[in-house]
Amino acid sequence: MNTESISKNNNTELLREIKEETRKLALMEVCGTHTMAIAKSGIRNLIPPNLKLLSGPGCPVCVTSQGDIDSVIELVKESDIILVTFGDMIRVPGSDSSLQEVRSQGADVRVAYSPLDALEIARKNPGRDVVFLGIGFETTAPLIGATIEEARRQEASNFSVLSLHKLVPPALEVIFSDPDIKVDGLICPGHVSVVIGLEPYKLLAEKYAQPCVITGFENNDIIEGIAMLLLQIRKKEAFAEIQYKRVVKSEGNPVAQQILQSVFKAAGARWRGLGYIPDSGLAIRSEYRSFDAREKFQLPEIEDRPIKGCACGEVLTGKISPHECSLFGRACTPLNPVGPCMVSHEGACAAYYRYSPLKGGKK
């Protein structure tokens, strides 16, 4: 769908309301799927220029720290494991290499759609250790937790998980607390919220006086989500509400929350662009330690070595747009990505490169 088709649908009235906004405001989306959907839809071109849509730390591949990527690459190079992960992760450049490169040198790195596929690989390869590289937010972590529980049920002693999972609310607290980041409202992630529900955003909205709207991914959803945020701002209100009601329930998914609680515990995590945030990651509980790859392989902690010239950190916190990175579209393209925001198809740089590649931002 393009801007023309949006204009034709029944959200014309909402668009008119949005266009009436004259104040300089910044709304941040915190989901890679939103980033891609917004870029593709041309919504940026429909809304007035005083209204800025920022991409936040919503792409799990992008926010994985350089040190964590390097330690995974080290693990694969130094052992005879089968590493299984989601697609985008294998192309992310580490400091010296990528999982794709070490695979071309003989390492066994495989891409899976579901963590259950990794468990199946473990069942078929009883003589080898299979490590699933767990990345993702609250949407994905319960699935990995359920897979760990299933691995315990199957007594799959050759299966383990390297948990690099991250939690969205602690990162939002950092964003809201940073005086260099101006955000007036939050387009909250739709599918993370399927699991966590409305409550975490209620706390954030109250603590930081930030309007929060859990928003779906269709163009109409996004338009409506923006209009709902602007309405709160106009009324000088700040509360959490759900636009994406067809999937998100206020209470979230209690079963998924229970799995998260029983398999994982909150732990400090390093985020690209945001640094170390206490209790923003998920570590595997000691009851499941035999499935914890970090413990099983005594994974060393590797310091983050920033990529020279790469501004993914600033892009992920909305401090700059992808166009403002000096590497964008020149040294860094989807064919030769320098940073993860250009690798992941949900990364802000990849979305901008595809849909508004010109420095002016308008296609």
Query: Of 283-342, which residues contact another protein (CB under 8 A)?
Result: 334-335
Q: For another protein, which is the closer residue by CB, 71 or 140?
A: 140
Minimal distance, residue 224 CB to another protein, in Å? 13
- Show the tokens assigned to 248: 């998100």
68 or 184: CB nearest another protein: 68
Is residue 33 a contact residue for another protein (CB under 8 A)?
Answer: yes
Minimum CB separation of residue 39 from another protein in Å reads: 10
Q: Which of 3, 21, 45, 91 binds another protein (CB under 8 A)?
A: 91
> What type of residue sits at position 361?
G
Determine the size of the site formed for another protein (CB under 8 A).
54
* 48 CB burial (10 A radius; 0-12, 13-18, 19+): middle
State the minimum distance, in angstroms, from the CB of residue 59 to another protein: 7
φ/ψ region of 347 (left if φ > 0, alpha if ψ in -120 to 50, else beta) reads: beta
Query: Dihedrals φ, ψ of 266, to 5°?
Result: -65, 140
Q: Which residue in the set 190, 225, 322, 339 belongs to the binding site for another protein (CB under 8 A)?
A: 190
Closest to another protein by CB, 94 or 115: 115
For the CB of residue 48, give the shortest distance to another protein in the complex, in Å.
26
Q: Are 168 and 212 in contact (CB under 8 A)?
A: no
Q: What distance in Å separates the CA atoms of residue 60 and residue 344, rounded to the nearest whole number?
A: 9
Could you give the C-alpha distances from 245 to 36, 207, 210, in angstroms and in order?
A: 21, 24, 20
94: contact with another protein by CB under 8 A:
no
Asked if residue 187 binds another protein (CB under 8 A), the reply is no
55-74 positions binding another protein, by CB under 8 A? 59-61
Q: Closest Cα partner for 83 from 152, 19, 44, 132?
A: 132
For residues 32 and 39, what is the distance between their CA atoms, to the nearest angstrom? 11
What 3-state class would DSSP assign to 23? Answer: coil
Shortest reach from residue 244's CB to another protein, in Å: 10
Q: Taking the C-alpha atoms of 153, 258, 292 and 126 in order, what is their torsion angle to the nearest 10 degrees?
A: 20
Residues near another protein (CB under 8 A) are 1, 31-33, 36-37, 40, 59-61, 86-88, 90-91, 100, 104, 111, 113-117, 135-137, 139-140, 142-143, 146, 189-192, 194-195, 216-218, 246-249, 253, 255-256, 259, 334-335, 344-346, 354
